[in-house]
Structure formats: C-alpha cells, structure tokens
Amino acid sequence: MILSISGVVLLGIVVFIFFRKDGLKASHGVVCALFGFYLASTAIAPSIKAGGASLASLLGGIKI
C-alpha cells in the first residue's frame, strides 16, 4: 500500500514538473492519468506492481 501511494506521488510530481518546465499541456496530463487508470485495470498490472516492489526492495537495500 505504501509503495503504491509513494509511486503515485512520485509520478504526480514528475507529471507536474513536465507540466511546469517542459510545456506539458493539461490535456497531456489528463491522458497520462487516464493511461494509469486503464493500465491498472489490465492483466499486466500485477506484473508491474511486482516489478515496482522488486525495484523498491533493491533500492532499499543499497547502503550509501
């Protein structure tokens, strides 16, 4: 649950930065959001979630 909320926040920040700096239009942001909602309801969503969890555990194990 925490990973999905963090991922949503991170993607929201990235879209916001694109919107402010790179000229991302509001319609592009809407398309990004709709893509995310539609992708979450597909059969590939569990694989994406597992890949995100694996990446998070990999990055969490790095000692700096």
| 16-62 tens-digit pLDDT | 777 787 777 777 777 778 777 777 777 778 888 888 889 888 888 88
Mean pLDDT of 2-22: 71
Q: In which domain, by residue range, is 34 found?
A: 15-50
| Spatial separation of the C-alpha atoms in residues 14 and 30, rounded to whole Å | 14
State how many domains the chain has. Answer: 1
Q: What is the reported pLDDT for 15?
A: 76
Residue 29 lies in a domain: yes
pLDDT at 3 over 60: no
Name, in order, each residue with C-beta under 8 angstroms of 52's C-beta and a sequence gap of 6 or more: 3, 7
Residue 9 belongs to a domain? no
Q: Could you tell me the pLDDT band of residue 1, with boundaries at 50, 70 and 90? A: very low
